[in-house]
Structures are given as C-alpha cells and as structure tokens.
Amino acid sequence: MREEYAARLHAPNMRHIFICGGTGCHATGSIAVKDRLVEEVAARGLGETVRIVETGCNGFCALGPLLLVHPDNIFYQKLSADDIPELVEEQLVHGRQVERLLYRDPQTKKPIPHFGDIPFFARQQPWTLRNKGIINPESIEDYIGRDGYLGTAKALLELTPESIVQEMLTSGLRGRGGAGFPTGMKWQFAQRSPGDVKYVLCNADEGDPGAFMDRSILEADPHAVLEGMIIAARAINAHQGYIYCRSEYPLAVRRVQIAIDQARALGLLGRDILGSGFDFDVEIYQGAGAFVCGEETALMRSIEGKRGMPRPRPPFPAHKGLWEKPTILNNVETLANVAQIMINGGAWYASVGTEKSKGTKVFALSGDVNNIGLVEVPMGTPLRSIVYDIGGGIPKKRKLKAVQLGGPSGGCIPEAHLDVVVDYEEIAKVGAIMGSGGAIVMDDRTCMVDMARFFLDFIQDESCGKCTPCREGTRRQLELLEKICAGNGEEGDIALLEELSAMITESALCGLGQTASNPVLSALRYFRDEFDAHITHKKCPAKRCAALLDFTVNAEKCKKCGKCYQTCPVQAIAWQKKEVAVINRDICVRCMSCFEACPFDAID
Amino acid sequence: MSCCNHTHGVAVGCCGTAETASEITPDQWAEVHAVIARHKDTPGALITVLREAQDVVGYFPPELLDCIAEGMNIPASDVFGVVSFYSLFSLSPKGRHTIKVCTGTACYVKGIREVINRIASEYGIREGETTEDRRFDLEGVRCLGACGLAPVMVVGDDTHGAVSADKVLELLKKYT
C-alpha cells in the first residue's frame, strides 16, 4: 500500500501543485487562488497530468498565498487569483517560469526559482516538519506514501513497550512544549505506574503569544501527531487519548478530526490496531480560552469539565493525572517526532544536536524580521544564524534590539548575546528559556519597559487566581510598570519590582506564576538604562510610551512628506506641500498614529 | 426556578416562566436540550455543552445556565464558575460582528495598539465591550497564531492581516 501511494507521488509525467492551505495563506486569499487554479487546469484539459494538492502550512507565512510546482520545485509567492491564468499557461503548458511571481533575494533582487535554493528553506533541517507543504493533510494516503504509520507498525509489531521507552531515552528527545523534560523518562514513570486505566494526552493548547508551530503541525501533518500518541499509548499501555486543542484553532481541529476518522477507517485507531491486539482511540477536546490550561495539571482539570486550575505536584500526572489515573501529556511537536525515532532509531535522532539537547527544534519566527515563518534547525544552531541567515535580517535597515524567546515565561536576548546556541541550558544561562519556540525579533523602536508591561498584563490577565502570589503579586508588578510607562515612576520602583519578582518566583503554585517575572527580570538585566530613562528623565528612548512623548515635529528630520497629516484621525496636524508639519497639541489625542506613519522618526 | 423535564433523553421543554420570559426562542431551547441530551452521561462534558449551547444562543442568560446545570446535574454555582473562568464564554449579549484583535507579542510589536485605539475612538467601545447598536463587539485575543500576518484582526470569520490604524475603519465599513 505504501509503495503504491509513494509511487503516485513520483509518477512520470505527473506534476503536482502544492498550494499552501494554512491559516495564514487562507487569510490572504489562498482559497480563491486554488479555485481559480482548478478552473484553469480543467479548462486547458490538463486534469490528467496535473494534481492540485492543498497542503498545510508551508512555513513561509509572510509570502502567502504561495505554491510549489513539483517535481521541478519551482516556488511561487504572493499570488492572487488573477495571476493564475498566466501561471498555468507559462509554467504548465510551456514549462516557462513566470518571473514576476518568483521569490527574489532581498539584497540582490534576483529571482530564485528553486525552492531548495531559497535561503529561508535551504538552511533548515526539516524533521518534525518533514511533510509540511508536500502532502494533503486531509489524505491519509499521502501520509502513508511518506512512510506514514511505519513507526506505528514497528512499535506495535516488533518492539516491546520497554524497548519503545528505551529508544525514546536513547534519542534524548526533550519536551518541546518548553520545559525540556526528557520524554522517555516521562513515559517510563507512567509505564511503571500500576493501573489498568491510563491516558495519553496531547497538549495542543498553544497559548504562548508568538508561537504557531503546533498549529502548523496540526494543520499540515496531523497524522504524525496521532502516530506519536499511538506509540506513547503502547509504551505505557493506555487505551484512550485526548488532544486538548485551543478553540482559537478551528482549521487544526477540523483537520485532526478528519485524520482521526481516516485512521479509524483503516484500523489504525480503535480495536486491535494492525492486528497487534492493542486497542487505542483518540478524541479531540476543545479548550475554551485559558492560557493556564497549557499547564499539565490545569489542562487535566479542564478536560474533566472544571475550572482549569493547577494543583501542586507531586503527585505527578504519571502517577495521578486525568481522573486520578496515570497520565502522560506531551506537546504536539514532541509527539510529531516519535514515529521518526521509531523508524530510524533513537541513536539516529541523538546524532544531531548538542550534548544535552538532541535533534531539531522548530521556531516560529516573527516580529521585526524579513522572513516570517516556521524555522526548523538542529539544536546547537546560533540564534544569530536564525535571525540573519534564515530570517533575512531586520526590515528597513533598522538595528536589532533583542529577540524575545519563550513568551511570557521567557526573556529577551539582546544583540550582545545573539551568538548563543539553541540548547535548553545555554538559553537559560542568558536569562531566557527555550519555551515552545516563539522567537519574536524586536528592532530599536521597541521599548523594553513597555514589553515587560505587555507580558505582565498578559500574565495577570491569564492568572487563574488560585494562589495569592500570582494573583496579587503580578497585579502589583503591573501597576508599577504602568506607572513607569505613564511617566510617574519613582526612585525605588525597580527595587520593589525585583523584590516582588523574587517572592512570586519562590512562592507561586505553578509554572505560570513561577516564571511570570522572567520578562521583567530579563528586561532589567539587559536594559536597565531604559528603565532609568523612564523613571529619572521621564523619557522613552524608543518613543513608544505615549505619555513620555512631546508630540512635536523635529524640523531637521521632517522630509515634508505629509504622511502624518494624512493619518491623523483628529486633524491635529497642519501641513502643506513643502512645509514642515506642525502638531496642535490641544487637539492631539496621543494615539501614536503619526509615529507609526512617519518614515523618518521625525516626531519627538 | 422551573425545571427541565427529560424523558428518555428527549427534551419536552421546561414548565413555564423562565423559558417563556426569556430572549431565547423555542427553537433555540430545543437545540439546547438536544445538546444536553447528547452529552449528559459523558463525564467532563460540561465545557463541550457550554460551547455548543453558546453557539446556539450566543451568550449565557441566567435561565440558560440554570437549564444546563439542571440538565447536566451539576450545581449552578459550578456551572457559573466554569463560564466565568474561560474567556470563550460570555455572560452578556454579543454584537452582530465580533472584532477579535490579536494582542499577541508579534502583533503588539507591529502596532496592534494603534489599531485598537482607532477602533475604540471611532465606535466608543473598549476591549470586551459591545457597541450600543449591537453592531460590533471588540475582543482582544491572546494570539491567534497567525504571526506571519501581524497585526491580525478577525471580524466574524474573516481574517485580515497586516491591518493598520489607517486601513481599519475602511475595513469595518462593510460589516453593517
């Protein structure tokens, strides 16, 4: 069966058009592009030799809608439905490339037609994302053609539960949700827990702002996650699994449900999988919008239909988890690696990476960077390489200020430490965490005090309120930071922030509270001068805190372009051609629109 | 308080006052009862029931919470506790169009705040509020996971990427 499906992919004279159908591309109009493509291909009678496949997220979200023409691997970007007739005529009928739709090197402006030559893709090592953009996520046949369910077959028919765990331990795979706990060890605990009823859970509650790799994996390769769950279930002898998915991810939920139905139909889920005598089934459980539900004990409470509040550990879920039964919870990205480890062996996986961090890690690269999208690199890759070689550097020739890693539990890594390599321990040394892999690049217009305030606002909004340090402590920290951003900061505020941080970190109940102060501490560690500027000089060096700005036009910098005049919503700006703009501060509502609009930083 | 009588898992409607005095239509009640009947024997199904019931009615007036509590055989205080905990659930009526502005890190760095300010000043609503004519709700969502399109705004089912304070009012004009 596998050979047959694989053969279909490599059939001679067959061309495949892989059009991205991830959430990002859907939003930029890929559905209309695809419909037009189907129409045009049919109209020209190419239906026999051209197969159009809507894939999951391709990873280069900034360029959507995009498509790949296989087997030539020509990459087209930023398409609209009106481009399609020309593309079909030239590329499919005459075999000529449509130059205006090709990717161009940002520096040299030369087109790069081949997918493999584009630096963004060329420098990655796609293991977890091996199927992204080249299979139809809604087709189990496509997946099987790419060695799908081979890992399951091996685990169920050739390996014992003990040897599955042994392979996982050998692989050195650590939790990709961010904490980095060795996956094999977690499975071993659950395997040794006595009990007939056990559960395998998949954590797809990707709440970290700035992380979208789990969503993309679920949308592009849902079967890989199911496989990981089946193998985990076999290892610990569980018969029921749940995928806890955010309700903010409707497309992911839909595709995973399709994958579950297809796997059931082929006997890969349910009773007696592949004739091995092993039973296992999976259900999707949709979350209801609470960041704390990504914490394992809170997530289990939520599946039980209660308020998602964490509880103290021990007892760890491997002994007492969902419904008080032994449970393992793994992140989407962790599970997506499991089948490959079964096929190729743990030693293969461990051959890549650093001493303590093995394999590859997927980062969601976003913010002030040229190439926004998903990036998978071997552990040990320097962060600088991710930002510059793959990410293509900072737009508009601005300077990089910091890269924020690990979301609200993480920290910022300043330009001076950008040579740090991707490794759980190394990143922790510079005051951030690996986290789930959201990497947000910030240029010199970002105010670090404001970013610290942003993360605390997030944390105190999402704190479940069960423990006092987190509920009250983060609220006080937020008030202090708001005061500083509003220009009312006083001597002693920083000391108070640090004192609160230490207390909350030591006394909070769960990971959310224990790491809540990280963004503040990391901002203080590297950008204390910005805090001092806000408090002592009442200035915001990055010009982001509206309360600390003058709203006057700097006549030397003003190029008289009128963009501020056009954007001002309250007509507070007077401007005429060839004149410097003037802001009437009595009318001005300090909305910052003119700052955003001005290309010359001429507004102080 | 009136009760929901279920026989063999089939809703026969509630007796009297709460259902008739409510904004919820008889058809909606029937759907809610069907949702409860489908899930009432599944442990831990409360959040699923709440989600599906909100899809039917749009929000949770008190009589709906009571009906679900009774149907699921869970104390009303627990049901309220769950509804008030999760941001997906609303205790007040929604507008015709929900504007979800993404307040994740990437969107924040790219200037979603200016977009929110512009919407707020134009329509006189803050995050979490509904316009008086029930045309719009403004909701801040903690990362929609489409950081490649930052800043992102979703109106109803339409995702708009790279929105700016300048463009946003023009975008919203078509939602009446």
CB-CB: which of A287, A305, A591 is closest to B44? A305
- Angle (nearest 5°) at CA A85 between A81 and A89: 150
What does the pLDDT read at residue A200?
A: 98
**What does the pLDDT look like over A176-189, one tens digit per residue?**
998 899 999 999 99
Residue in the block written with tokens 């039973």: A279
For chain B, the 3-state helix, strand and coil shares in percent, each to the nearest 5, are 45, 15, 40
* Choice between A263 and B2, residue whose per-residue pLDDT is larger: A263
User: A110 φ, ψ to 5°?
Assistant: -80, 140
Identity (one letter) of the amino acid at A243? I
- Read off the pTM: 0.92
* Range in A222-226, A251-255, A376-380, B111-115 the model is least confident about: B111-115
Q: Is B149 on the interface with A (CB under 8 A)?
A: yes
The DSSP string of A407-454 is GGGSEEEEGGGTT-BS-HHHHHHTT---TT-EEEEEETT--HHHHHHH
For A210, the closest of B86, B104, B166 (CB atoms) is B104
Restricting to A residues 11-40, those with a Cβ less than 8 Å away from any Cβ of B are 23-24, 26-28
Peptide bond preceding A65: is omega within 30 degrees of 0, i.e. cis? yes
Query: Chain A closest CA to B78's CA: distance in Å?
Result: 8
- Residue of B88, B108, B159 lying closest to A27 (CB–CB): B159
Instruction: Tell me the residues of chain A between 308 and 367 that have a Cβ less than 8 Å away from chain B.
Output: 308, 323, 364, 366-367
| Side-chain half-sphere CA neighbours of A565 within 13 A | 14
Is there a contact between A342 and A164 (Cβ–Cβ < 8 Å)? Answer: yes
Strands B153-155 and B97-102 come out as antiparallel
With an 8 Å Cβ cutoff, is A515 touching chain B? no
Is B88 an 8 Å CB contact of chain A?
yes
The helix/strand/coil state of A361 is: strand
Query: Could you tell me which chain A residue has the CA closest to the CA of B143?
Result: A209
Give the nearest partner residue to A209 out of B82, B104, B149, using CB atoms: B104
The Cα A562–Cα A568 span in angstroms is 10
- DSSP code, position A547: G
CB A217 within 8 A of CB A259: no
Q: Is there a contact between A289 and B46 if contact means CB atoms under 8 Å apart?
A: no
Confidence (pLDDT) at B11:
44
Which amino acid makes up residue A167? E
For A286-338, how does the pLDDT look when each residue is reduced to its tens digit (9 = 90+)? Answer: 999 899 999 999 999 999 999 999 999 999 999 999 999 999 999 999 999 99
**Which chain A residues are Cβ-neighbours of B43 within 8 angstroms?**
304-305, 323
Percent of chain A at pLDDT > 70 equals 98
Neighbour count for residue B29 (Cβ, 10 Å): 22
Q: How confident is the model at residue A394 (pLDDT cuts 50, 70, 90)?
A: very high
Closest CA to A177 of A464, A434, A508: A434
Q: Which tens digits make up the pLDDT trace of A476-490?
A: 999 999 999 999 999
What span, in angstroms and rounded, lies between the C-alpha atoms of A89 and A68? 16
Across the interface, of A307, A367, A440, the residue whose CB is closest to B85 is A307
Which residues 225-254 of A are in CB contact (within 8 Å) with B? Answer: 246-249
A307/B contact by beta carbon, under 8 A: yes
Q: Which of B107, B147, B158 to mutate to test the interface with A (most CBs of A within 10 A)?
A: B147
Contacts of A287 in chain B (CB under 8 A): 86, 88
Question: Per-residue pLDDT for B1 more than 80?
Answer: no
Torsions phi, psi for A573 (to 5 deg): -110, 130
| pLDDT class of A2 with cuts at 50, 70, 90 | low
Q: What is the pLDDT of residue B19?
A: 58
The whole-angstrom separation of Cα A294 and Cα A175 is 13
Interface size A-B, in CB pairs within 8 Å, comes to 157
Residues B105, A438: C-beta atoms closer than 8 Å: yes
Q: Are A486 and A534 in contact (CB under 8 A)?
A: no
User: SS3 for A209-278, per residue?
Assistant: CCCCHHHHHHHHCHHHHHHHHHHHHHHHCCCEEEEEECCCCHHHHHHHHHHHHHHHHCCCCECCHHHCCC
Q: Answer yes or no: do A367 and B43 touch at CB < 8 A.
A: no
Q: How far apart are CA A319 and CA A427, in angstroms?
A: 31
Residue partners of A56: CB distance under 8 A and separation at least 6 = A20, A21, A22, A132, A133, A135, A137, A216, A219, A220, A221, A255
Residue A5: how many other CB atoms lie within 10 Å: 18
Residue carrying structure tokens 């799908």: A148
Closest C-alpha to A8, from A149, A141, A148, A151: A141
* Of residues B46, B86, B105, nearest to A209 (C-beta): B105
- Percent over 90 (pLDDT), chain A: 84
Nearest to A305 among B47, B88, B105 (CB): B47
- Residue of A64, A302, A455 with shortest CB distance to B47: A302
Instruction: Inform me whether the C-beta atom of residue B143 falls under 8 Å from chain A C-beta atoms.
Output: yes
Phi, psi of A351 (to 5 degrees): -75, -10
Residue in A209, A566, A589 nearest the CB of B143: A209
The C-alpha atoms of residue A603 and residue A115 are separated, in whole angstroms, by: 42
pLDDT-derived band of residue A474, with 50, 70 and 90 as boundaries? very high
Chain B nearest-CA residue for A303: B44
Distance from C-alpha of A209 to C-alpha of B142, rounded to nearest angstrom: 6
Of A51-65, A151-165, A435-449, A517-531, the range with the lowest mean pLDDT is A51-65
A416-447 burial code (b ≥16 CB/10 A, e <16)? ebbebbbbbebbeebbbbbbbbbbbbbbbbbb
Which positions ≥6 away from A107 have C-beta within 8 Å? none
**pLDDT per residue over A11-53, tens digit each?**
667 889 999 998 888 888 999 999 999 999 999 989 888 999 9
Confidence of residue B5 (pLDDT cuts 50, 70, 90): very low
pLDDT at A248: 87
> Which residue in chain A is spatially nearest to B155 when comparing CA positions?
A27
Put simply, whether B168 touches A (Cβ < 8 Å) is no
pLDDT band, very low/low/confident/very high, at A1 (cuts 50, 70, 90): low
Print burial letters for A308-329: b (CB count within 10 Å at least 16), e (below 16). Answer: bbbeeeeebbbbbbbeebbbbb
Whether the CB of B109 is below 8 Å from some CB of chain A: the reply is yes
Which residue carries 């992911």 as its tokens? Answer: A252
pLDDT confidence of residue B131: 94
> Which sign, positive or negative, has the C-alpha torsion A208, A209, A213, A217?
positive
Tens-digit pLDDT profile for residues B25-63 = 999 999 999 999 999 999 899 999 999 999 999 999 999
Smallest Cα distance from B121 to chain A, Å = 9
Identity of the residue in B78, B87, B150 whose CB atom sits nearest the CB atom of A290: B87
Q: Say if CB A37 and CB A52 are below 8 A apart.
A: yes
Buried b (16+ CB within 10 A) or exposed e, B109-133: bbbbbbbbbbbeeebebeeebbbee
SS3 A66: coil
Q: What is the average pLDDT across A516-542? A: 96
Read off the tokens for A579: 């004149």
Q: Nearest CA of chain B to the CA of A155: how many Å? A: 31
Half-sphere exposure of A484 (CA within 13 A, CB side): 31
Residues of chain A found within 8 Å of residue B104, distances taken between Cβ atoms: 209-210
DSSP state, residue A36: H
Contact with chain B for residue A462, Cβ under 8 A? yes
- B26 min Cα distance to partner chain A (Å): 27
Question: Does B82 contact A at CB distance below 8 Å?
Answer: yes
Query: What distance in Å separates the CA atoms of residue A290 and residue A312, rounded to the nearest whole number?
Result: 19
Distance from C-alpha of A68 to C-alpha of A101, rounded to nearest angstrom: 12
Per-residue pLDDT tens over the stretch A187-246: 999 999 999 999 999 999 998 999 999 999 999 999 999 999 999 999 999 999 999 999
Task: Output the CA torsion sign for B120, B125, B127, B130.
Answer: negative
For A545, nearest residue in chain B (alpha carbons): B113
For A213, the token pair is: 């790799």
Q: Are A219 and A256 in contact (CB under 8 A)?
A: no
Q: Coil, strand or helix: which one is A112?
A: strand
Asked if A66 and A78 touch (Cβ cutoff 8 Å), the reply is yes
The predicted pLDDT at position B9 comes to 39
The answer to whether the CB atoms of B108 and A454 lie below 8 A apart is: yes
pLDDT band at residue B10 using 50, 70 and 90 as cut-offs: very low
Q: What is residue B63's predicted lDDT score, i.e. its pLDDT?
A: 95
Q: Is the pLDDT of residue A571 over 50?
A: yes
Please tell me which residue of chain A has the smallest CA distance to B46: A305
Residue B20 has a pLDDT of 58
Measured CA to CA, the distance from residue B139 to residue B126 in angstroms comes to 9
The rounded mean pLDDT for chain A is 93
pLDDT value at A554 more than 60? yes
Chain A residues whose beta carbon lies within 8 Å of the beta carbon of residue B166: 566-567, 593, 597
